[in-house]
Amino acid sequence: MTNPAKPNTNRLLQQSHTNMPMGVADSYRYWGEENTVFVKSSEGCTITDADDQMFVDFRLAYGPIILGYRDMRIDQEVIKVITERGTISGFSTELDSQVVELVKQMCPNIEKVRFANSGTEAVMGAVRTARGFTGRNRVVIGEGGFHGLND
């Protein structure tokens, strides 16, 4: 079933179905045939979909957009670093330690920090650390909470 008020979204979803299950890159982006959103642009706390409908993103892009979309302070720094160092590096840089120092200033009880590429990886690392530290295999989780996409 499609939504007649969303011709561009309908087209994009139909096109995406040929390449991805449910027409989306991951299951958290699928909100049903009539409600799945394809973002055209974003700024501040709002997103605009392929049919020019504007929404307030209360999900904060599932967490990482706490300063809003297209915050010029963040964008300018990211562009600067990408220009100097490239987009991907498997090597350490001095920025790693500088970011950790800032985190430790904000949270003085933290001794060390480990970075992760996603919430899933962070939870996996935390569970492995807890299992290694305690010698136990069982982990308690909160029902209904999101604990990453791992088993």
pLDDT digits (tens, 9 = 90+) for 91-136: 888 989 999 999 999 999 999 999 988 888 999 999 999 999 999 9
Q: Are 66 and 60 in contact (CB under 8 A)?
A: yes
Instruction: Please give the full DSSP string across 44-65, using - where no structure is assigned.
Output: BTEEEETTS-EEE-TTGGGTT-
Residues forming beta bridges with residue 88, ordered by sequence position: none
Give the tokens for residue 52: 């020019």
The pLDDT mean for the chain works out to 90
Using a cut of 0.95, tell me whether the model's pTM lies above it.
no
Rounded Cα distance, 139 and 27, in Å: 25
Tens digits of residue pLDDT in 17-39: 999 999 999 887 888 888 999 99
Estimate to the nearest angstrom the gap between the alpha carbon of 15 and the chain centroid: 24
Residues forming beta bridges with residue 41, ordered by sequence position: 48
Q: Are 11 and 54 in contact (CB under 8 A)?
A: no
Q: Where are the domains of the chain?
A: 90-134
Rounded Cα distance, 79 and 104, in Å: 25
Nearest to 61 by CA among 43, 87, 78: 43
